[in-house]
Amino acid sequence: DELVAAYVDRLNAGERIDPGGILGDHPAIGTEVLRRLEAFLDLASAIDDSPSLNAIGDYRLLRRIGRGGMGVVYEATDLALKRRGALKQVRGQGTGHEGVLNEARMVAQLKHQNLVHIFSIIQENGLYLVFELVEGETLDGILNRRGPLGVEEIRRVLAGVGAAVDYAHYRR
């Protein structure tokens, strides 16, 4: 608890905390510390209505909608254009960001019904990618709720993914 409190104090002081650093500094308990910090930040963002603490660039963070190997994704509102988007906070402090930036620039050139459009890149206290927000249930949610997909559903999903990959491959 003291370790989590110390990180919370550092965050409140405006310091950016690298999750990889926590895992490296505390290999035995780093995952648990991250989980507790994330729970605290989720609670704090639900309580705190301050735009300065819940905004990145021109985007107001609304809620966390996902987390994966590359980072955390938030539903956000573009304050200037009054539209919702998905803002992905890319993990790390600049390490490997050039590759992510190059990929984002390439994806921004692609227009296909099965590809999510990228709206912008924000480099402000880290790297953030802003995508269109796609409504609906995740594949993971569907599988947890219903169990395995049928053969025809799998064919339909894979046909859509294949069409997008084919389009991206030939547009490069």
Q: What is the pLDDT of residues 9-42, one digit of tens each?
A: 676 666 677 776 777 787 787 777 777 777 666 5
What does the chain come to in residues? 172
Closest to 132 (Cα-Cα) out of 60, 76, 91, 79: 76
**Residue 130 in this model has a pLDDT that exceeds 80:** yes
pLDDT score, position 48 = 41
pLDDT score, position 149 = 94
Question: Of 64 and 106, which is predicted with more confidence?
Answer: 106
CA distance 149 to 168: 26
Is the pTM above the cut of 0.85? no
CA distance 172 to 131: 20
Asked if 77 and 62 touch (Cβ cutoff 8 Å), the reply is yes
